[in-house]
């Protein structure tokens, strides 16, 4: 079979940009399918010592198959860059939807939160912790359902509550045990679930302040103030998820604890998994290449900098690190 290269795709629009990756809407030339292509420069990865994170992300995307987790179709590389070819979610980021709506009702928030619970449960069943749950990493598909994406900070083979050590994540969503450098495990993801629910209902992450030091002190030691509009069941759920002690946090004994909470009482988990609920917001999508639900900050960027022939010297200095990088979902 012919080796996949960037020449097999037509690049259409920039739709995202991370600290060392760009995401571009692409069309595969042979089957005309539309995908989101995540492009990483090897020298940037090497400079930031992120090789293990990138390979970890590739391995997780190969291993994990779930309706609410982004699907990878291909992975390939050249001398300079690595490419992930992922499903395109034309509804944009949950972050953008939240910015437009300011706050969600509890019913609306529950629809997204319940899908996140199922996605995290699936990852935890595979002993993977996600560690980067935030509205920017939750994508919305054309039907209005979600996918969690970006597994660059995820960690595999985490069984115990102190198996992971590194301080990583987005400041506003960090769990106290990460900041205390006490070792952490799966409960960190349930803290971030609480953070995203809180943000959907209040418009801000918990403990929000622009003073980083103050933020970290509050996460570690302060009691959270809840919006007075919350129902008792919702407040009870959040209090459980925001337990500073990971061993007492709701979900520390498994996702079922959360699924059984009264706030999720009316969720039929099988119905949700089959995507039979009507989503609260169905994105306006004019065509399969519509990017209007993504931030113009990205979509108005030029494509020129993605010339596949702009090879720089020294890309292969990482040696054999990426020899097993390529992947094709159709060959499974």
Average pLDDT for the chain: 91
What whole-number percentage of the chain has pLDDT above 90?
78
Regarding whether 117 and 205 lie in a shared domain, the answer is yes
Any domain includes 295: yes
pLDDT at 252 over 60: yes
Please check if 38 is assigned to a binding site: yes
Tell me how far CA of residue 172 lies from CA of 195, 196, 216, 316, in angstroms. 8, 10, 8, 36
Regarding whether 229 and 99 lie in a shared domain, the answer is yes
Q: What is the pLDDT of residue 158?
A: 86
Regarding whether 208 and 297 lie in a shared domain, the answer is no
Any domain includes 332: no
Regarding whether 217 and 180 lie in a shared domain, the answer is yes
Any domain includes 214: yes
Regarding whether 71 and 176 lie in a shared domain, the answer is no
pLDDT at 281 over 80: yes
Number of domains, the chain: 2
pLDDT at 36 over 60: yes
Catalytic residues: 132
pLDDT at 310 over 80: no
Q: What is the pTM of this model?
A: 0.93
Regarding whether 158 and 80 lie in a shared domain, the answer is no
Q: What is the pLDDT of residue 309?
A: 45
Regarding whether 297 and 232 lie in a shared domain, the answer is no
Host domain of residue 306: 6-90+287-313
Specify the CATH number for the domain of residue 302: 3.30.200.20
Interval 32-46 mean pLDDT? 93
């Amino acid at each position: 079979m012919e080796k996949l290269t960037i020449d097999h795709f037509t690049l259409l629009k920039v739709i995202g940009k991370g600290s060392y990756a760009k995401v571009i809407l692409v069309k595969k030339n042979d089957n005309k399918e539309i995908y989101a292509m995540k492009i990483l420069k090897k020298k940037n990865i090497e400079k930031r010592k992120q090789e293990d994170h990138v390979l970890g992300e590739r391995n997780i995307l190969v291993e994990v198959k779930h309706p609410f987790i982004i699907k990878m179709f291909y992975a390939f590389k050249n001398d300079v860059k690595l490419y992930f070819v992922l499903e395109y979610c034309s509804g944009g980021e949950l972050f953008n939807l939240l910015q437009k709506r300011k706050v969600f009702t509890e019913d609306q928030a529950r629809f997204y939160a319940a899908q996140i619970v199922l996605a995290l449960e699936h990852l935890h069943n595979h002993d993977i912790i996600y560690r980067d749950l935030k509205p920017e990493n939750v994508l919305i598909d054309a039907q209005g359902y979600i996918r969690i994406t970006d597994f660059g900070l995820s960690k595999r083979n985490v069984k115990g509550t102190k198996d992971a050590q590194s301080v990583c994540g987005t400041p506003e969503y960090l769990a106290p045990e990460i900041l205390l450098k006490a070792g952490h495990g799966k409960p960190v993801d349930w803290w971030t679930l609480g953070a995203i629910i809180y943000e959907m209902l209040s418009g801000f992450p918990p403990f929000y302040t622009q003073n980083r030091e103050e933020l970290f002190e509050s996460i570690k030691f302060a009691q959270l103030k809840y919006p007075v509009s919350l129902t008792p069941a919702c407040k009870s759920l959040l209090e459980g998820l925001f337990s500073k002690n990971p061993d007492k946090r709701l979900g520390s004994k498994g996702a079922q604890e959360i699924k059984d909470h009264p706030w999720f009482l009316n969720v039929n988990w099988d119905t949700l998994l089959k995507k039979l609920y009507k989503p609260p917001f169905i994105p306006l999508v004019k065509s399969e290449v519509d990017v209007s639900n993504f931030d113009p900050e990205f979509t108005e960027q030029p494509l020129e900098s993605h010339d596949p022939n702009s090879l720089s010297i020294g890309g292969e200095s990482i040696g054999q690190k990426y020899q097993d990088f390529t992947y094709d979902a159709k060959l499974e």
